[in-house]
Amino acid sequence: MTVLGPDAVSGRKEKTDHPLRTKRAGFTERDHLYMKEALEEAQKALAHGDVPVGAVIVRKGRIIGRGHNRREADQDVTAHAEILALREAGAYDGGWRLEGAVLYVTLEPCPMCAAAIVQAKMAQVIYGVDDPRLGAAGSLLNLLQFPGFHHDVAIRSGLEAEACSNLLKDFFIEKR
């Protein structure tokens, strides 16, 4: 089932529950840059009272999709940052297949988004903070690397974790 070894993903081996799931692997400057773009997207959600989650999709060094959570703004339960970024990326060069693409998202994807990411055949998800409540990249369950699926998505986490988490914390403190 596993196509890539852990070395192919992170450059070093770490003890994890799946060979394609690595924590705090050596992120590049570009990784940080893309996550900062995702954080900027997340900020936009605040303007309409949505939980600040943002995502960008990168392929061949280019951002081809962006999204931020618009569930409240659109009264649409599917309007998660990842889904909106996937839609934009699909329209970008005329294809829903996103082989080789990497999704940067501030919060661990939920089961709905994880399933969409698998169906788009994306190469990798890099996220900021874990979501113990709903995370489908290993926290609650791991749909990105589900044994029955025919496609595995590599996972890395902890990129810009503090910034991603502070944004969420501030939002929920203000809501109280």
Which residues contact Zn ion (rule: CB under 5 A)?
80, 110, 112-113
Pick the closer one to Zn ion by CB: 19 or 108.
108
Pick the closer one to Zn ion by CB: 2 or 78.
78
Could you confirm whether 37 is annotated as catalytic?
Answer: no
How big is the chain by its Cα radius of gyration, in Å? 15
In angstroms, give the least distance from the CB of 71 to Zn ion.
9
- Give CA–CA dist 154/18, Å, rounded: 10
In angstroms, give the least distance from the CB of 162 to Zn ion.
22
Catalytic site residue from 41, 82, 108, 160? 82
In angstroms, give the least distance from the CB of 110 to Zn ion.
3
Pick the closer one to Zn ion by CB: 110 or 167.
110
- Give CA–CA dist 114/95, Å, rounded: 18
Residues with a catalytic annotation lie at 82
